[in-house]
Amino acid sequence: MAEDVAATAKPRKTAVSFTGGKDSMTVVNLLKDASIALEASKAWPVEVRQAWTADLRSRLDTLAGCEVALLVTFVPVGAAPFKAHPLELVKLQAAALGLPHLVMEVSAAPTFLDSYRENITALRTQHGVEVLATGDMLDVCSSFMPRAAAGTGVQLLSPLWDIGRRLLLELVWAYGMEPVITCVNVTKFRIQSKEAAAEQQAQPGQTGTDACAAAAGSSEQATAAAAAPGSHGGDSAEPLAGTGDGTGAGAEAGTAAGDEDWAGRLLGQPLARRLHAEVLLPAVERFGVDEAGEWGEYHTMVLASRLFARPLALGATAPQREGDYAYLAHTTPPQAQAQ
């Protein structure tokens, strides 16, 4: 009887907080067709298959009854366009997925927390949204998004929370995604003590993670975090702002000779198995970076998926450097590829 009730229950209308990177795109793909991930799990390495499959099923359980109805991108009012996640490409991705896309502006007046809360409430009252799903894996700015969703009548779900990075990448590849690295924080690819690395990870708001993500639009939590009181990003949320101590030291350090080598090896490259094995895993060993870029090491845009109506083309780009960041500047706009 319980199964019959569940089978006939009305799906919960779900919005996905969306930037077009691999994480939010993974959430969309899991919501649209979980069977692809479950089928891929049968071919995972035998030594991890059971644990990973159980983990995946547990995450899918959190999404039970949810139906993705729209994508929403939160954009700071008056900020320059996102560099790592160009909005025109995000719109093409939504069209390729066949989903409506909303752009909602967030403001520091009266506070970013209030602004997010108003927008999330509007998702419910104006669009009938019951669930907001994010691609977040870690806490940013003292649980900003849970606080923003509290009292709105919208349930917040983060199905990738604390996911193993290798499992996440396996899901990315299972769906045939082609994430291209569009932004690299070169300060992350430097030799540092384990103590310094641990301190950075314990205080992401002071290391540039949320400054790049906020300004470049990598995650909705980080966008808010950079603009929240006491965080580095301040109220301006300027795209790809320097993440030093405010004296210019971060930008100067960013010109170290080795930085350009790592930026060149990553920027504009597809996040495929080969790049992961030949570049990212050695960087994990050498610098202690997160292989999925969760501490702001890099940001991606997905150009293809098994669920896209057609693949996308990034358009002509040229590598640029601004402070601690290397990113792709568009010289021609992205577009959908012809069938």
Full set of structural domains in the chain with CATH: 12-193+260-336 (3.40.50)
Torsion of CA 223, 227, 233, 237, to 10 degrees: 70
Cα angle for residues 77, 83, 89 (degrees, 5° grid): 90
Q: What is the pLDDT of residue 190?
A: 85
Q: What is the pLDDT of residue 134?
A: 97
At how many degrees (to 10) do helices 22-32 and 87-97 cross? 10
Residue 300: how many other CB atoms lie within 10 Å? 27
DSSP string of 112-158, one letter each residue? HHHHHHHHHHHHHHHH---EEE----S--TTTHHHHHHTTTT-EEE-
Q: What whole-number distance in Å separates Cα of residue 155 and Cα of residue 158? A: 10
Q: What is the pLDDT of residue 222?
A: 46
Q: What is the CA radius of gyration of the chain?
A: 19
Burial class, 43, CB count within 10 angstroms (exposed 0-12 / middle 13-18 / buried 19+): exposed
Q: What is the pLDDT of residue 339?
A: 67
Residue 287: how many other CB atoms lie within 10 Å? 15
Q: What is the pLDDT of residue 124?
A: 98
Q: Judging by DSSP bridges, how do beta strands 179-185 and 317-322 pair with one another?
A: unpaired
pLDDT, tens digit only, all 339 positions of the chain: 444 444 557 899 999 999 999 999 999 999 999 999 999 999 999 999 999 999 999 999 999 999 999 999 999 998 777 888 999 999 999 999 999 999 999 999 899 999 999 999 999 999 999 999 999 999 877 889 999 999 999 999 999 999 999 999 999 999 999 999 999 999 999 876 555 555 555 544 333 333 333 433 334 434 333 333 223 222 222 233 322 222 233 333 334 556 668 889 999 999 999 999 999 999 999 999 999 999 999 999 999 999 999 999 999 999 999 999 999 999 999 999 876
Burial class, 96, CB count within 10 angstroms (exposed 0-12 / middle 13-18 / buried 19+): buried
Asked whether the beta carbons of 145 and 24 are under 8 A apart, the reply is no
pTM: 0.83
- Of the candidates 92, 98, 57, 29, the one whose C-alpha atom is nearest the C-alpha of residue 303 is 92
- Residue 187: φ, ψ to 5°: -65, -20
- The total number of residues shown for the chain amounts to 339
Q: What whole-number distance in Å separates Cα of residue 216 and Cα of residue 219? A: 9
Helix (H, G, I), strand (E, B) or coil at 110: coil
Residue tagged 């959908």 (tokens) = 336
Burial class, 247, CB count within 10 angstroms (exposed 0-12 / middle 13-18 / buried 19+): exposed
Asked whether the beta carbons of 22 and 179 are under 8 A apart, the reply is yes
Q: What is the pLDDT of residue 46?
A: 97
Helix (H, G, I), strand (E, B) or coil at 165: helix
Which residues sit opposite 72 in a β-bridge? 17, 102
- Of the candidates 77, 65, 55, 71, the one whose C-alpha atom is nearest the C-alpha of residue 20 is 71
Give the contacts of 81 (CB within 8 A, at least 6 positions apart).
87, 239
Cα angle for residues 107, 21, 118 (degrees, 5° grid): 25
